[in-house]
């Protein structure tokens, strides 16, 4: 029953944002909400194709574009060659591990950030992308330990 209610809530969420809650859109959004891994369009497609055998890649891209435009999800440009998507809309930072490629969220307080240089600019979106090595990969292969500082030292 809880799944059904969850789905109904998502429908309402979409409707409230002026987005028609089509099947594909709901499924894509649901996947993004349950998987916290910031999947790529391809990953979403692969995950949903078993459940929606007629699904096409273009539908996934369409759904992502519509959801993103409506502000229901956000598009990460943390990687140059592929987009990643995030259902969390509050402001937070993203860290991508250069070894395993995983993208982690982290809380960040933009309040202290100074950028007086931007007077006159209308700022709509602020993205903070960090890159480096995640704790797991640091443990696994210390051979990767080139130069660099620990985050905690900053």
Partner DNA sequence: TCTTGTTTTAGAATTATTATTGAAATGTAC
Partner DNA sequence: GTACATTTCAATAATAATTCTAAAACAAGA
40's contact among its own copies, DNA, none, with CB below 5 to 8 A by partner kind, is DNA
Distances (CA, A) of 66 to 53, 76, 151: 21, 15, 36
Residue with tokens 């209610």, as numbered in its chain: 5
User: What are 76's strand-pairing partners?
Assistant: 84
> Binding to DNA (CB under 7 A): which residues in 39-78?
40-42, 52, 54-59, 61-63, 65-66
Six-digit token string for 33: 């909400």
In the bound state with DNA, the residue whose beta carbon lies nearer, of 41 and 134, is: 41
79 binds its own copies (CB under 8 A): yes
- The number of beta carbons lying within 10 Å of the beta carbon of residue 66 is 19
CA nearest to 19, candidates 53, 138, 28: 28
Q: Are 72 and 89 in contact (CB under 8 A)?
A: yes
20 binds DNA (CB under 7 A): yes
Total residues contacting DNA by CB under 7 A comes to: 25
- The number of beta carbons lying within 10 Å of the beta carbon of residue 56 is 12
| Binding track over 99-128 against its own copies, x by CB under 8 A | -----x-xxxxx-xxxxxxxxxxxxxxxxx
In the bound state with DNA, the residue whose beta carbon lies nearer, of 23 and 110, is: 23
Q: Are 26 and 10 in contact (CB under 8 A)?
A: yes
In the bound state with DNA, the residue whose beta carbon lies nearer, of 42 and 98, is: 42
| Binding track over 77-96 against DNA, x by CB under 7 A | ---xxxx-------------
Residues in contact with its own copies by CB under 8 A are 75, 77-80, 83, 93, 95, 98, 104, 106-110, 112-135, 138, 145, 148-152, 154
């Amino acid at each position: 029953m809880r799944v059904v209610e969850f789905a109904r809530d998502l429908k309402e969420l979409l409707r409230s944002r002026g987005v028609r809650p089509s099947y594909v859109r709901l499924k894509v959004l649901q996947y993004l909400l349950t998987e916290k891994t910031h999947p790529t369009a391809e990953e979403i497609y692969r995950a949903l194709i078993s459940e929606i055998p007629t699904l096409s890649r273009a539908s996934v891209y369409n759904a992502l574009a519509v959801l993103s435009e409506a502000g229901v999800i956000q598009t990460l440009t943390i990687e140059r060659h592929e987009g990643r998507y995030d259902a969390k809309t509050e402001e937070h930072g993203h860290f991508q591990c250069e070894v395993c490629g995983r993208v982690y969220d982290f809380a960040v307080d933009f309040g202290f950030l100074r950028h007086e240089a931007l007077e006159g600019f209308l700022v709509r979106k602020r993205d903070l992308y960090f890159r480096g090595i995640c704790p797991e990969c640091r443990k696994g292969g210390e051979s990767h330990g080139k130069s660099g500082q620990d985050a905690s030292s900053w």
